[in-house]
A and B are shown apart, each in its own frame.
Chain A
Amino acid sequence: MSRVAVLKGGRSLERQVSLKSGARVQDALELNGHSVVGIDVGHDLVQRLLDATPDVAFVALHGRDGEDGTVQELLEAVGIRYTGSGVSACIRCADKVLAKHHMLDAGIPTPDFFAFNETAFKELGAGDALPAIERRLRFPIVVKPAGQGSALGIKFAAAPADLAGALVAAFSYGDKVLLERHVHGRDLAVSVIDGEALPVVEAVPRGEDFYDFEARYEIGRTTFICPAELPQQVAGHAQQLALDVWRVLGCRGFARVDLMLDAESGELTVLEADTVPGMTDTSLLPLAADAAGIPFDELIERVLELALR
């Protein structure tokens, strides 16, 4: 049995989700007989880690600090092993733009995109390139902050007039913004544990306008189906793509890869990878594990063992 520090909460916009994930992880670890200390990540993080002297840290910290490699770097510095991906994979995944470039370089399909930081617009006249971008990506265009994990800040520009407002909103969350071709189709997610793909989950917005992005992220307005009702070949392809992403981005432990299945062409594309996936009772990775016959406690135990290996 191990001494485990569960890192949760923090100062990101996903604090509440992280507190829920962390609490559930703590319960499972305690049930499994570990000695557990929960740490709400703040100014005293390093000191608390040094005081707690854990064998391993379970990173249940979503968003900024937890997913961008910051906390992982600190854990490396103080010599504490931790769950999930290492610093470099976190950096590659947390920046959606970087992740997409790695995918492109490796030949993994991802929706066409452009990305800019604020300086490009302010000092290099990137705004003048918008018409060209519009022609290439075609409306509707998805605009999202490059580094934001939750649904906040994701906007849907249906026409040129929407684009500036969508960019302003996305820049509220960070310095870099992604303009991405919108894929009309089905939202899929494949979770991976130790290089092994779990069954595909599909998120189905319930009875809402297809263009209503908010609906996808509101509780009760989305139904999750696992395993997704897909032809075996398509599900297998989605899982293979997720494993390719896992390998290319250098993930470790566990991760979740989000994909789109184009309704018309049937083409699968990868949107992003999440190195600290949600562990709440409505989160996709635990759902997929459950469908694969892995109960939550066992899932947590495996993730922990992978960190200690």
Chain B
Amino acid sequence: MTIDDRDGRPRGEPRRMATAAGARPTSRDLERYDGLFAARTKVMKSSAMRDLMALTERGDIISLAGGLPDTASFPPESFAAIMGAVAADSCARSLQYAPTEGLTTLKGCIAEVMAEEGTKIDPDDVLVTTGGQQVIDLVCKTLVDPGDVVIAEAPTYPGAVPTFCSYEADVVQISLDGDGMRIDELEDTLDALHRDGRRPKFIYTVPTFQNPAGTTMSLPRRKRLVEVVRERELLVLEDNPYGLLRYEGDPLPTLHSLDGGDFVIYLGTFSKILSPGVRLGWSVGPRPVLEKMNLGKQASDLCSSSLTQHFVAAYFAGGRWQDYVHSLKEIYRRRRDVMLDALADCFGADASWTHPQGGLFIWATLPDYIDTTDLLARALDEHVAFVPGRAAFLDGRGSSSMRLNFSGVGEADIREGVRRIGEVVREQIELYGTLTGSHPVVAPAEPAPAAPDPKLADVLQLPAPERRRRDARGG
């Protein structure tokens, strides 16, 4: 007997019930359904990693692993007042279905949010979705056939990985540095794919305060990326959940605003500026693409919650949404600074980490002989957790890095959490020193996307190799 992909039993042999004759089958007897599962359900990530991550949710753990906004800062009396207004003004409508593309009033709010970042859009071009995550799903549903290439950053948002996998995409990851995605590497990769007769369907990027790296794509790279996709007629999925959470530096234009919306599908969300509990995100993109996504959404869930759409619309009608974002920024800026200070105190010379100008995450990289998946097991003993870097790669890279979140826990816990992680790191470094007879202060494993390298600005100006050759011939 072979327990294989589809069916645990030899071909042709009738399936015998695992339970005693006459007994009621139980829903947990998974093997009975195994033959019914689609091939795409077989694409699963390492169970060891998943089991480890499940432990980070234990109550007695300081978890720097999450990506949670601090919803405790939202005033309960505001919540009550908004819900009261929804009940008074739109009780029946908020209990009814909404149009698939979303409520008109909410689309106006979305245009307002995007204008805050300097991106002007027509509210008619908005598709309201059930969280930003649904945009990733709908874009894959619309564009990806099994085996199609999707380009992502290395590291990429860990939550996008299962979505790509469930559509059986072939994900190719492009390195990041302090200036965001390496566009030179992107162009080389596109050339190589072109030579193999493969055209990627879209390029997935979180250009601003990237999850997990915390880096921001520089303006020259943004411009070049937009040029590249225009030249090659590819789509970009610009995932921008954190753009308004900037704690320092000047805002940069979104890819959507640089491109005018021809080749950029924009993903926005209320999760980080108001609440992930309302499960509302949106997409703005080329109309033909958005129409297909709309059909896909109809098939998925008909519409996003009318109740929360009315809630958000009523909240925006109050005219104070920017104040709340401002208060969040104050909280998160302090927490970021506390984490950066704690890292400097506790990680010292043994590690490097990013200095995000906004968003929720810091990416730290340790010496290459430390495996952060194993380190997490040790850290859990000290009741502290982070996301091992491997979760952000599909190819086994990232094993010496970790993602640290500073938005979801208070300042004291951040300090204590980083202190505990620093302690186990130091322990391992000392042990390694003992084992190798040295006391290494080793440079971090991979070039962590830290401070922008001025030399890289030049990289951007380099034409793509293929074009260079063409130019050479032309000249």
Contact = CB atoms under 8 A, between A and B. Distances in A.
Nearest to A214: B46
B435 A173 contact: no
A13 B437 contact: no
A226 B42 CA distance: 21
B377 A153 contact: yes
Contact of A218 (B46, B54, B370, B435): B46
Contacts of B370: 165, 168
A152 B52 contact: yes
B369 interface: yes
A29 to B, nearest CB: 11
B4 A172 contact: no
A223 B431 contact: no
A127 B42 contact: no
Interface string B356-376: 000000000000111101110
B434 interface: yes
Interface in A249-290: 281-282, 287, 290
B45 to A, nearest CB: 8
Contact of B435 (A167, A214, A219): A167
B23 A220 contact: no
Given A217-B48, A295-B18, A296-B19, A11 B58 contact: yes
Contacts of B48: 150-152, 217-218
Nearest to B32: A281
B195 interface: no
A31 B377 contact: no
Given A153-B374, A153-B377, A173-B378, A121 B3 contact: no
A240 interface: no
A298 B431 contact: no
Contact of A31 (B5, B24, B42, B431): B24
A296 B18 CA distance: 6
B51 interface: yes
B432 interface: yes
B28 A168 contact: no
A16 interface: yes
A220 B42 contact: yes
Contacts of A153: 374, 377
A27 B1 contact: no
B299 interface: no
Given A169-B371, A290-B18, A13 B26 contact: no
A164 interface: yes
B470 to A, nearest CB: 39
Contacts of A302: none
Contact of B1 (A23, A32, A217, A225): A225
Nearest to A171: B431
Nearest to B45: A218
B428 interface: yes
A134 interface: no
Nearest to B437: A127
B2 interface: yes
A173 B380 CA distance: 10
A17 B52 CA distance: 11
B172 to A, nearest CB: 21
B72 interface: no
B50 interface: yes
Interface residues on B, range: 35 or more
Contacts of B23: 31, 297
A11 B370 CA distance: 24
Given A31-B20, A281-B29, A122 B431 contact: yes
Given A121-B435, A122-B434, A127-B434, A172 B375 contact: yes
A13 B51 contact: yes
Interface string B45-74: 011101110110010000000000000000
Interface in A1-54: 11, 13-17, 23-24, 27-28, 31-32
Given A31-B23, A220-B44, A290-B18, A281 B31 contact: yes
Interface residues on A, range: 35 or more
A106 B428 CA distance: 37
Interface in B1-30: 1-5, 17-20, 23-24, 26, 28-30
Given A153-B377, A173-B378, A296-B18, A127 B3 contact: no
Interface in A177-216: 214
A224 B373 CA distance: 26
B51 A223 contact: no
B371 A165 contact: yes
A291 interface: yes
A130 interface: yes
B395 to A, nearest CB: 12
A298 B20 contact: yes
A298 B368 CA distance: 50
A55 interface: no
Contact of B436 (A127, A169, A290, A298): A127
A14 B47 CA distance: 10
A118 interface: yes
Contacts of A219: 44, 46-47
Contacts of A171: 428, 431
B369 A165 contact: yes
Contacts of B19: 28, 31, 295-297
A173 B374 contact: yes
A16 B53 CA distance: 10
A28 B375 CA distance: 37
B431 A152 contact: no
Contacts of A17: 51
Given A27-B28, A127-B437, A297-B20, A169 B55 contact: no
A13 B377 contact: yes
A170 B428 CA distance: 11
Interface in B217-243: none
Contacts of A297: 18-20, 23
Contacts of B55: 11, 13, 15
B46 A127 contact: no
Contacts of B42: 220
B46 A168 contact: no
19 contacts: A16-B50, A31-B19, A122-B431, A122-B434, A165-B369, A165-B370, A165-B432, A167-B431, A168-B431, A173-B374, A173-B377, A218-B44, A218-B48, A226-B1, A281-B29, A287-B3, A295-B17, A295-B18, A297-B18
Given A168-B374, A217-B47, A296-B19, 7 more contacts: A11-B55, A31-B23, A122-B431, A151-B48, A152-B52, A168-B435, A281-B29
Interface of A: 11, 13-17, 23-24, 27-28, 31-32, 118, 121-122, 127-128, 130, 150-153, 163-165, 167-173, 214, 217-220, 223-227, 281-282, 287, 290-291, 295-298
Q: Rank and list the top 8 A-B pairs by shortest CB-CB distance, nearest first.
A: A165-B369, A172-B378, A164-B435, A169-B374, A172-B374, A16-B51, A27-B26, A281-B30
